[in-house]
Amino acid sequence: MTVASASVSLMAPVADPAVGASAACCEAITRAQARNFYHGLKLLPEPKRSQMYALYAYMRMLDDIADEDDHRDRDRRLADLEAWRRLTHDAFDGRLPDDPPSGPGGNGGDIWPAFADLVSRRRIPRHLFDAAIAGQARDLGTPRFESFEELEEYCYQVAGTVGVASVHVWGYTGGAETIELAAHRGTAFQLTNILRDLREDAAAGRTYLPRQELADAGVTPDDLRAGRVSTGFIALVARQAARAEAFYERSAALDARIDADSRPTLVAMTDIYRGLLKKIARDPGRVLRQRVSLSLPDKLWIAWRAKRSMRKVRM
């Protein structure tokens, strides 16, 4: 896959009331929905912080088109994704909707002025958003991934693209190699999410783990829905956790390649997700008993520690 890789300089925000109101809407969506990202994003300076809120709000609303439990059938969701793709292209071309869709949970607000401002200022490649929309279309119905190669492609579409878009906001050095590292970090996050949400997704008819690996472990989607923990299941989760950890390791060089003022955010977000992965690896059966999460104090401590560590580097 080909991804643009130019480093983008910081630009002052435009004093546009519509963009300001839209940015406030994006922040509200992020604060309400981004349980694991919000505390890391707060560490960013402006305008990067607001731009990341716009990116998150866009991705959150896109995800809701595919996932929100509102009784739309598959054809309706596909039509809505196509409409979202057209809105996205219009935003890249400077055209904003007269009647924008509402935010998650029916919340009002228009994300599009902030999103259009973001992609223009940071020169984020359009194809990243086309790929993200394609990933959500792939997620409709009952997704099936026969091999890890198919799952990895999906992880790039729904999460690697977010990692790549994020480094355009944060600023980076290292060209195409850094872009690849950002995609790997996004894949690590998505694999962590898949493990955390195994039972919840299975209950909704979605099983993201490769079918061949499920079969090799003697685990069925019915086992996941019923919460049946077996030696095969424990081995299956251990294999996936090791794979996710390998993506964290593979992308380790990313932290030093983004702008210093953005590193605490990346470090905090990574530590939160890696903390989730470690909890899963220690007790694989836990994902079938309850949703694995970090406490709010744990997240705040991680964010404080990330900010503190970068302060020491500058001293």
CA neighbor of 245 nearest in space, from 266, 268, 273: 273
Same domain assignment for residues 161 and 258: yes
Same domain assignment for residues 185 and 87: no
How many structural domains compose the chain?
Answer: 2
Residue with tokens 């095969």: 232
64-117 pLDDT, tens digit per residue, is 988 766 778 889 889 999 999 999 999 999 999 888 876 555 555 699 999 999
DSSP code for 285: G
* Cβ partners under 8 Å of residue 5, min gap 6: 175, 176, 178, 179
Whole domain around residue 189: which residue ranges?
A: 142-315
Which tokens hold the place of 309?
Answer: 């560590």
CA neighbor of 158 nearest in space, from 243, 58, 75: 58
Among the candidates 140, 168, 196, a domain finishes at 140
CA neighbor of 239 nearest in space, from 258, 214, 259, 221: 214
Helix axes of 161-170 and 175-196: crossing angle, nearest 10 degrees: 130
Q: What are phi and psi of 258, to 5 degrees?
A: -100, 165
Q: Residue 230: give its domain's CATH number.
A: 1.10.600.10
Residue 26 lies in a domain: yes
Answer whether 29's CB lies under 8 Å from 109's CB.
yes
Q: What is the pLDDT of residue 3?
A: 37
Same domain assignment for residues 246 and 98: no
Same domain assignment for residues 23 and 68: yes
Separation CA 96–CA 110 (nearest Å): 10
Separation CA 178–CA 164 (nearest Å): 9
Same domain assignment for residues 56 and 166: no
Residue 279 lies in a domain: yes
Same domain assignment for residues 159 and 306: yes
Q: Which regions of the chain are under pLDDT 70?
A: 1-15, 68-69, 102-109, 309-315
Among the candidates 107, 140, 173, a domain finishes at 140
